[in-house]
Amino acid sequence: MDPKFTNGFINQLRGRSIFLIGMMGSGKSSTGPVLAEILKYKYVDLDELIEKLTKKTIDKIFIEEGEKYFRDLETQCLQEIIKFPSTVVSTGGGVVLKKENWGFLRQGIVVWLDINQQVVIERLDQTKSDSRPLLKGKNVKLMYQEIFEIRKDIYAQADLRVEINNEGVKSIAEKIIRALKEKIKN
């Protein structure tokens, strides 16, 4: 990306943080660091932060403490993260569920990575992950569709929706920047 273009965009952002939201497997955690690097922003992965603080995997937290406990931690961490400007934050797919979280997300710019369903289901089928207890032992396709059905209108409340297919993370990061630049201009 042309540095002149990127620097102009960084100025336009005026330190506003960027929150990546979207379904599991949509590429929030892989795209976030690349986006942060281009923008010279700090980077936080919300799930990773929770795992570091609790010294447990997300899966273990769900098993031992339950989903509500995890969701409360998610909110508490988000509340801390928004104190830092110029940060790209990759959130967990369910962060949008609590109304309270939107109050925090709205302090930055919310970007929905809207990934093609077929691509993501194949991806999730192939990855065994300790961070996705909601899909564990389930029919990934059915469960994914069920969760997406409940959440799609909530994700749609993002400031920006970026359609994702099978592009690499750098292309996605650049796509986000171009779309955001367009959005901020208007």
Binding site for ligand S3P (CB under 6 A): 24, 28-29, 47, 58, 92-94, 131-134
Query: For the chain, what's the residue count?
Result: 186
Nearest distance, CB of residue 99 and ligand S3P, angstroms: 16
Choice between 42 and 71, CB closer to ligand S3P: 71
Taking residue 147's Cβ as centre, other Cβ atoms within 10 Å add up to: 16
Choice between 134 and 160, CB closer to ligand S3P: 134
What gap in Å lies between CA 21 and CA 158, rounded to an integer? 8
What gap in Å lies between CA 37 and CA 140, rounded to an integer? 32
Residue closest to ligand S3P (Cβ): 92
Choice between 151 and 178, CB closer to ligand S3P: 151
Nearest distance, CB of residue 179 and ligand S3P, angstroms: 21
Choice between 47 and 114, CB closer to ligand S3P: 47
Nearest distance, CB of residue 163 and ligand S3P, angstroms: 17
DSSP code per residue over 74-128: HHHHHHHHTTSSSEEEEPPTTGGG-HHHHHHHTTSEEEEEEE-HHHHHHHHHH--
